[in-house]
Amino acid sequence: MTLTSKMSSIEFELEKSYGSKDVNNPKRIFSTAGKILIGLTGCSAIGLSVICLPFVAPAFRKYCLPFVPATNNQIDNIFKLLKRNTNERLLDIGSGDGRIVIAAAKNGLTADGVELNTWLVQYSRLSALYNGVFKQTSFYQKDLWKFDVSPYKYIVIFGVEQMMTDLEKKLLNEANKESQVIACRFPLPNIKPCRIVGEGIDTVWLYDFKKQQSQN
């Protein structure tokens, strides 16, 4: 086959593929490829937005509560302040990956977590199942400011400094008189703790609300 015949054959195949006799014009070919690339890019962007939205959305709220996993020292310090193997209920505000709730359940408490991020809530439930404490734990995907804290004996807080004043007001208004609050990383600003354990980022503060209300 001559070179001319080969070129004619190629042009014929391109004409069948693209439905155009103008096979020597690359603009049409690149136009089709460009549309495909734009479509794929758009689908990828939508997919990433769906995945990232639960992580990004909290940043648009009044207080951004980032997910920072508790250290082993922080968890140990928390349980230095708690009575173990009791029928009391514990709530972890901003429960993240659920490790404090799971640790509490392993120590005999009924433990709940409230967390806004849906992926972290699902991860926590799977982790509780894996650790054999699924029945002793519950994880709620809710706004912590709208969550009722009154049923809980122990309330654990991993907050940011900017939100502690408002969180203190919520606890004073809603927590029952038997509640004990454990603040991690940042203390409540206007209440004197009855015990402090640890140092640096691993410091935890214990507040006895029964003593607080009797003082008021």
Instruction: State residue 83's pLDDT score.
Output: 76
pLDDT at position 161 is: 85
CA atoms within 13 A on the CB side of 31: 6
Domain final residue, candidates 60, 82, 108: 60
- Domain assignment of residue 175, yes or no: yes
Average pLDDT in the chain: 78
Number of domains in the chain: 2
User: For 133, what's the count of Cα atoms within 13 Å in the CB-facing half-sphere?
Assistant: 23
| Same-domain status, 83 and 40 | no
| Whether 41 and 125 share a structural domain | no
Q: Are residues 148 and 191 in the same domain?
A: yes
| Any domain includes 67 | no
Q: Does 50 share its domain with 79?
A: no
134 in a domain, yes or no? Answer: yes
| Residue range(s) defining the domain that contains residue 103 | 72-215
Task: Tell whether 43 and 141 lie within a shared domain.
Answer: no
Q: Domain ends where: 60, 87, 104?
A: 60
Residue 149 pLDDT = 95
Question: What single string gives the DSSP state of each residue in 152-207?
Answer: -SEEEEE--GGGHHHHHHHHHHHS-TT-EEEEESS--SSS--SEEE--GGG-EEEE
CATH code for the domain of 133: 3.40.50.150
In 3-state terms, what secondary structure has residue 137?
Answer: strand
Q: Are 124 and 139 in contact (CB under 8 A)?
A: yes
Strand partners, 196: 205
- For 105, residues 6+ apart whose C-beta sits below 8 A from its C-beta are 111, 128, 131, 133, 136, 137
Domain stops at, among 31, 60, 89: 60
Per-residue pLDDT of 7-32, as tens digits, reads 455 444 545 544 544 445 555 544 56
Same domain, 56 and 82: no
Looking at the structure, do residues 34 and 83 belong to the same domain, yes or no?
no
Half-sphere exposure (Cβ direction) of 107: Cα atoms closer than 13 Å: 19
85 and 42 within one domain: no
Which of 42-46, 133-137, 211-215 is the least confident region? 42-46
Claim to verify: residue 45 and residue 89 sit in the same structural domain: no
Dist. CA 167–CA 163, nearest whole Å? 6
The answer to the question of residue 163 being in a domain is yes
Same domain, 30 and 128: no
- The residue among 36 and 190 whose pLDDT is bigger is 190
pLDDT tens digits along 148-201: 999 999 999 988 888 899 999 999 999 998 999 999 989 999 999 999 999 988
Asked if the model's pLDDT at residue 204 lies above 70, the reply is: yes
Do 78 and 28 sit in the same domain of this protein? no
Q: Which of 176, 164, 185, 160 is nearest to 208 (CA)?
A: 176
